[in-house]
Amino acid sequence: MHHLYLFLVWWHILGVTIWLGANFFLVLVLLPIAKKDTYRDFYPQLFADIVMRLRAVSWFVLSSVVISGVFLMMFRFGKVIVTWDFWRELYGETLFIKLCFVAAVFIGSFLHDFHWGPKAIALLQQNPEDAQTKKMRRISSYIGRIIFLFGLIVVFLAVKFVRGG
C-alpha cells in the first residue's frame, strides 16, 4: 500500500509540474515568438492548434491531479477528514483553502477552455485586427493568467500543508 501512496504522490506532483510548466512555456516562450511579424500570417491557425493541443493535455493532467489528490487525502487521513475537528485545525483550514483554489482553477479552466478561449480563437481566425477580437483575446488572456496565479497559490498551500500547516 505504501508503494501505491508513493506512486500517487509522484503522479500528483508530476501532473502539477506538467500543467504549470506548459503554461509557463506557452505564456513566456511560445506566444511571444508566435506573435512576431515573421509568423503573422500563420498566427491565428498556429495559436488555435497550440491551444487545442494544450487543452487536451491540460484536462488529462488536471483530472489526474484531482483524482490522485482525492486518493492521497484518503490514504493520508482516512476517516479523520470527515470530522469537524479536522477542518477547524490548521491542517484542515489550509486544506480547505487549497481545495477552494483547486475548485477555482478547475471551474476557471473549464470556462476559459470551453467558452472564452474558443470564442477568442474564432474571432481571431475571422478578423484578427477587429476591436472585438482584441477585447476577447485580452479577457481570455487575463482569465488564463488569473487561473495560472491560482495554480501557483495551490502549490504554495500544498507546501504549507505538507510542511506543517
pLDDT in tens, 63-89: 999 999 999 988 888 877 778 888 888
User: Which residue would you say has higher pLDDT here, 37 or 64?
Assistant: 64
Contacts of 68 (CB under 8 A, 6+ apart): 8, 11, 12, 15
**Predicted local confidence at residue 43, as pLDDT:** 83
Range of the domain at 66: 2-162
Question: 137 is written with which cell numbers?
Answer: 483575446
Give the whole-angstrom CA distance, residue 20 versus residue 155.
10
- Is pTM beyond 0.85 here? yes
Give the whole-angstrom CA distance, residue 2 versus residue 32.
44
pLDDT band at 110; cut points 50, 70, 90: very high
**Predicted local confidence at residue 165, as pLDDT:** 61
Measured CA distances, 99 to 54, 134, 136, 150 (Å): 24, 33, 29, 11
Number of structural domains, the chain? 1
